[in-house]
Amino acid sequence: MAPGGFTHWPPASRLSMLDATFRALFVAALAFVTYGTLNPDPGDVAGMSLADFIASRILGEPALADKVGHFMAYATLSGLMVMGRAAPAGSITLGATALAVYGFGLEGLQGFFPDRQSDWRDGLANAAGVAFALPPGMLVRSALAGALTSADR
């Protein structure tokens, strides 16, 4: 028998596996967003065609594609953070604040890269994306946790 009387060591539930999966997706998305933010040619980054579509067809303003892309990227990060309980010290408020600060910081770094320029409005789009995804992320996380916890009993 394994330490602590567990028959399987370490003990794993479907909820902890789901957490690990969402945390891995969060880390991958964070790397992708960081690369996309500092890449000299953001037009080559996957997902910009969706941002172009939303900006031109839904919002009616193609010039907003960059802001839509920033919003979508940070909404994705925020949702994955909540879903995987990846927030620092387990605090969603601290995690959301850290993501928003990270977004503003990366935006500031863009000014040091060739063919890029900083725009504080991109930082605002990042922060708006973070805030937007928190409530739905928490609702989905809560529903999944309840379903998986009851299924593990």
Q: What is the 3-state secondary structure (H, E, C) of the chain?
A: CCHHHCCCCCCCCHHHHHHHHHHHHHHHHHHHHHHHHHCCCHHHCCCHHHHHHHHHHHCCCHHHHHHHHHHHHHHHHHHHHHHCCCCHHHCHHHHHHHHHHHHHHHHHHHHHCCCCCCCHHHHHHHHHHHHHHHHHHHHHHHHHHHHHHHHHC
Its pTM stands at: 0.82
Output the average pLDDT for the chain. 84
pLDDT of residue 8: 47
Structure tokens at 148: 């998986």
List pLDDT tens digits, range 18-60: 888 999 999 999 999 998 888 866 555 555 688 888 888 888 8
Is the pLDDT score of 4 beyond 60?
no
Q: Out of 19-33, 59-73, 92-106, pick the least confident.
A: 59-73
Res 1: pLDDT: 43
pLDDT of residue 6: 44
Q: What percent of the chain has pLDDT over 90?
A: 42
pLDDT of residue 152: 58
Q: Residue 121's pLDDT is what?
A: 94
Give mean pLDDT, residues 141-153: 75
The confidence score (pLDDT) of residue 42 equals 57
